Amino acid sequence: MTHVAKTIAATSHPAARVPPESTGAVRRQWSVAEVLALYELPFMDLLWRAQSIHRRHFNPNDIQRSTLLSIKTGGCSEDCSYCSQSARYATDVERERLMPLAEVVTAAKAAKDRGASRFCMGAAWRSPKEADLEKILDMVREVKALGLQTCVTLGMLKEGQAEKLRAAGLDYYNHNLDTDREFYGRVIQSHSHDDRLDTLAQARDAGINICSGGIIGMGESRKNRAAMLAQLANLDKPPESVPINNLVPVPGTPFGELPPLDPFEFVRTIAVARIIMPSSYVRLSAGREDMSDELQALCFLAGANSMFYGARLLTTDNADAERDDALFARLGLNAC
């Protein structure tokens, strides 16, 4: 047991008596009860533990920056209750065709010039058709040639598609679990929780790194959040990147009127993700535009070491680059 774990276990708070974290040398399986116990630690103890673990695996002042571009917007047939791009809901998002290759490459060059190291491309559909996939393979090749890491989120993959993406040079496939199995039917009904896991398995089997996390603030319980994180940590190999999204309520969607999540609960989620997935990049994702600089600093202290960088995340606003650059300067953080 580490010095940090011994100190926390010795406190009088019952929830502090949780097992020591994985050091990365030996994988362990996390029960939902164990993850929930981490959530219930006193806030300062939780951040201390998360920051201590973070420093064993990463430079605490390095933040990986990714840029996300919607290459095909709107008109999705799925019924994800949070999503502005679902064709089932009346939102302000208009349906658009797949972007031309030249426009994607121009956007990728601009992202690299601003300091992003990874370029993520998202398409709103249930799964890619073969004709569309061929165009996306060209995008992956061209973006990769710029010296950027490549990532796509294309919905559910069909047999053989992951292998084609890997051959084109894809580094990461993003496919969030969104929430745990118990709460999943309250969020999405047009496909199953197992469908998500199947796509993650296909990408992993093809040799592609996994980017998978979830959305919090959708009305789920703390136990649901703990169960989602435990499932990610207990995959055969945890995701290399774990995006933690704070729900952005979109008018016209079923979740458009939900109240905001307690900010400290968001920070707790970052910290717990860091503790149980010590070698993964934990990413601040959707919802960051409305976070104060102070809240973001707490997230970095809790172990977040990745963020989306740029003014848009698919169809929602994100903090602008100038504000992020100023925050990095104030905190002494380095883009990587």
211 has catalytic annotation: yes
196 has catalytic annotation: no
Spacing of C-alpha 145 from chain mean position:
25
Q: Which of 49, 65, 118, 151 is catalytic?
A: 151
CATH code matching the domain that covers 3-18+29-47+63-335, chosen among 3.30.9.10, 3.20.20.70, 3.30.43.10, 3.40.50.720: 3.20.20.70
For 10-20, how does the pLDDT look when each residue is reduced to its tens digit (9 = 90+)? 333 444 455 55
76 has catalytic annotation: yes
Range of 60-69, 109-118, 266-275 with top mean pLDDT: 266-275
Q: Which of 204, 283, 288, 299 is catalytic?
A: 283
| First and final C-alpha spacing in the chain | 32
Q: Which of 120, 204, 268, 299 is catalytic?
A: 120
Predicted pLDDT at 12: 36
Q: Which of 118, 204, 211, 225 is catalytic?
A: 211
Q: What residue type is assigned to position 134 of the chain? A: E
Q: Does 1 have pLDDT greater than 90?
A: no
What mean pLDDT is predicted for residues 16-27? 52
Mean pLDDT of the chain: 87
336 has catalytic annotation: no
Domain parsing of the chain, residue ranges: 3-18+29-47+63-335
274 has catalytic annotation: no
Q: Which of 49, 65, 76, 204 is catalytic?
A: 76
Spacing of C-alpha 168 from chain mean position:
23
What is the share, in percent, of the chain residues with pLDDT greater than 90?
A: 63
Distance (Å, rounded) from C-alpha 176 to C-alpha 244?
9
Cβ within 8 Å of residue 323, ≥6 positions away: none
Helix residue ranges, H only, the chain: 3-9, 32-39, 43-57, 101-114, 130-145, 161-168, 181-184, 193-205, 222-233, 263-276, 293-301, 321-331
pTM of the model: 0.87
299 has catalytic annotation: no
At 127 the three-state DSSP class reads coil
